[in-house]
């Protein structure tokens, strides 16, 4: 039996020729649209009813899309870990399986968070800018061991961030909606506390939780008002966890000292965003997952999830 798969994962598309022999082995034909960042609802609706499975990135598989693609659609294999862009309840109603790779990018994302903390604490980007403009100016920095870190979401990535921070001698506060293993708490010395206490006492606040109804705009004008005016917000999780307009207002009013953002409410970040003109903000294009080793694992696990979701045995 031949299958048709909508292939829209932007990290896999450049290597599609490499994967085609594997798909051919399972009688899978590919539809490969042009994808810049993700497929929106209307983009996906153009292909409704034409494919049996999907390999996707952060495509907007809404209830409307799932219903239009059913009953032919059998599986959506998500490249990566987060499935907040998929309507899981609609998939369940229509019998569409969801595949993903848990713990896919823990190491590179945790490294990214640590890199941002070092950049702000040691001030390298700003000293580099001054030097290249002809100024010999010693901008004061501080050691990470002099700083406190608040980790919002102590899952796989939050735990990895905590271990890295503790290795630098930082005091770490944690907050999560689920109970954290007591062994990890004892091992790291992390102090689990309320969100209000965490943001009030932290020099760096790292957002590492999932995006779900309880975390949407978790960081907002109220939480920013509780933070130290010298504090730095780091978001390498999902853009909508942070109320971007409230963040911009907090930065403009000097309620916060700075921010490091890898993700945004709208991606790509609109060119008229005030964030692009702020000297106290470090920006990246949703790239904290960057790791050849991690990508390779995710590529092949995504294919495995697809094949198995179509009811076949994956032989590698």
Distance CA 16, CA 23 (A): 10
What's the DSSP call for residue 181?
P
Q: Which two tokens stand for residue 62?
A: 């809404």
Active-site residue, from 38, 100, 164, 238: 238
Active-site residue 60, yes or no?
no
Active-site residue, from 267, 296, 297, 299: 267
Active-site residue, from 38, 100, 164, 286: 286
Closest CA to 16 of 30, 3, 36: 30
Q: Which two tokens stand for residue 105?
A: 């990018």
CA dist 22 → 88, 168, 273 (Å): 28, 44, 42
Active-site residue 41, yes or no?
no
Residues 99 and 308 sit within 8 Å (Cβ to Cβ): yes
Closest CA to 156 of 114, 195, 103, 198: 103
H-helix or E-strand spanning residue 78: strand 75-78
Active-site residue 238, yes or no?
yes
Residues 158 and 185 sit within 8 Å (Cβ to Cβ): no
Q: Which residues are catalytic?
A: 238, 267, 286
């Amino acid at each position: 039996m031949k299958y048709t798969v909508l292939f829209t994962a932007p990290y896999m598309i450049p290597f599609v020729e490499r994967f085609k022999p594997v798909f051919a082995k399972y009688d899978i034909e590919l539809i490969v649209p042009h994808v810049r960042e993700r497929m929106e609802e209307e983009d996906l609706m153009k292909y409704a009813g034409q494919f049996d499975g999907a390999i996707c990135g952060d495509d907007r598989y809404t209830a409307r899309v799932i219903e239009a693609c059913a009953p032919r659609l059998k599986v959506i294999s998500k490249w990566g870990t987060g499935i907040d862009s998929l309507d899981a309840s609609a998939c369940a109603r229509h019998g569409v399986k969801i595949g993903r790779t848990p713990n896919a990018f823990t190491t590179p994302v945790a490294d990214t968070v640590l890199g941002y903390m070092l950049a702000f604490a040691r001030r390298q980007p700003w000293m580099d800018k001054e030097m290249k403009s002809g100024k010999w100016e010693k901008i004061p920095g501080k050691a990470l061991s002099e700083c406190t870190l608040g980790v919002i979401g102590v899952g796989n990535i939050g735990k990895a961030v905590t271990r890295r921070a503790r290795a630098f001698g930082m005091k770490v506060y944690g907050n999560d909606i689920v109970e954290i293993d007591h062994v990890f708490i004892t091992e790291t010395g992390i102090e689990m506390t309320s969100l209000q206490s965490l943001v009030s006492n932290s020099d760096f606040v790292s957002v590492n939780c999932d995006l779900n109804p309880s975390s949407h705009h978790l960081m907002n004008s109220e939480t920013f008002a509780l933070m130290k005016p010298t504090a730095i917000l780091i978001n390498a999780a999902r853009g909508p966890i942070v109320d971007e307009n409230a963040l911009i207002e907090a930065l403009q009013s000097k309620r916060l000292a700075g921010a490091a953002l890898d993700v945004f409410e709208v991606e790509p970040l609109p060119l008229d965003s005030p964030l692009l003109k702020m000297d106290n903000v470090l920006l990246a294009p949703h790239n904290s997952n960057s790791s050849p080793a991690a990508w390779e694992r995710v590529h092949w696990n995504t294919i495995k999830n697809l094949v198995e979701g179509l009811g076949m045995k994956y032989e590698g």
